[in-house]
Amino acid sequence: DAGVIQSPRHEVTEMGQEVTLRCKPISGHDYLFWYRQTMMRGLELLIYFNNNVPIDDSGMPEDRFSAKMPNASFSTLKIQPSEPRDSAVYFCASSRQGIDYGYTFGSGTRLTVV
Amino acid sequence: AQTVTQSQPEMSVQEAETVTLSCTYDTSESDYYLFWYKQPPSRQMILVIRQEAYKQQNATENRFSVNFQKAAKSFSLKISDSQLGDAAMYFCAYRIPFGNEKLTFGTGTRLTIIP
Average pLDDT over chain A, rounded to whole?
93
Average pLDDT over chain B, rounded to whole?
93
B-chain CB neighbours of A48 within 8 Å are 101-102
Give the one of B35, B42, B91 whose C-beta lies nearest to A43's C-beta. Answer: B91
Q: What is the model's pLDDT at position A96?
A: 85
The answer to whether the CB atoms of B45 and A93 lie below 8 A apart is: yes
Greater model confidence, B97 or A17? A17
The pLDDT of A10-26, averaged and rounded, is 97
Q: What is the model's pLDDT at position A100?
A: 63
> Where does the pLDDT of residue A102 fall: very low under 50, low under 70, confident under 90, or very high at 90 and above?
confident
pLDDT digits (tens, 9 = 90+) for A43-59: 999 999 999 999 999 99
Best of A35, A105, A109 to disrupt the B interface by mutation (most B CBs within 10 Å)? Answer: A105
The pLDDT of A3-21, averaged and rounded, is 97
> Does the structure show a pLDDT above 70 at A41?
yes
> Where does the pLDDT of residue B31 fall: very low under 50, low under 70, confident under 90, or very high at 90 and above?
confident
A-chain CB neighbours of B95 within 8 Å are 102
Angle at B104 between CA A6 and CA A26, to 5 degrees: 30
> Does the structure show a pLDDT above 90 at B97?
no
Give the one of B50, B104, B108 whose C-beta lies nearest to A100's C-beta. Answer: B50
Q: Which of A10-19, A51-60, B39-48, B101-110 has the highest mean pLDDT?
A: A10-19
The pLDDT of A81-110, averaged and rounded, is 89
The answer to whether the CB atoms of A102 and B52 lie below 8 A apart is: no
B-chain CB neighbours of A97 within 8 Å are 101
Chain A's closest residue to B36, CA to CA, is A102
The answer to whether the CB atoms of A107 and B101 lie below 8 A apart is: no
DSSP structural state of residue A10: E
